[in-house]
Amino acid sequence: MALQLGKQASIDYKVEKKDLASNLNISVDDNFPEVFATARLIALMECSAAKILMPLLQDGEQSVGVNINITHMAATLENDVAIATATFVGMEGKLYKFEIEVVDSGGICGRGTHTRAIISTDRLIEGSKRRAEKSLR
């Protein structure tokens, strides 16, 4: 099944407390604001692109992100709705390329490009295990 250029998928997502940058503190020195975290914005963007690839997946396959280049342009507050829309823009070898834009109640808050691959889940996990075992030697 070939994917048609320009195919789009959107996800509407209500920003919750768990999505705020202030909840992503890793070290005691971190002091992030109470706005939609860039990491969560990226996750929303990835999920909108993955949604486009779902009909192409065979049993035992998943799509995974391999590259993302985004700009987080504006802050989104808790309880606002962020809407990510991915657009399929073409192939680069076996990689699927997307343009993604996110809007909230104030307008565009993020945009960028994203690349995904369709992979065998088992192969991915086995490769990860082999890689981890090598590092323990």
Distance CA 35, CA 39 (A): 11
Residue-wise over 59-75: b if at least 16 C-beta within 10 A, else e? eebebebeebebebeee
Among 16, 38, 61, 87, the active-site one is 38
User: Any catalytic annotation for residue 72?
Assistant: yes
User: Any catalytic annotation for residue 38?
Assistant: yes
Answer for the pair 82, 70: CB distance below 8 angstroms, yes or no: no
Among 16, 46, 92, 114, the active-site one is 46
For every residue of 80-100, DSSP letters joined together read -EEEEEEEEEEEETTEEEEEE
Among 72, 87, 101, 114, the active-site one is 72
Residues designated catalytic: 38, 46, 72
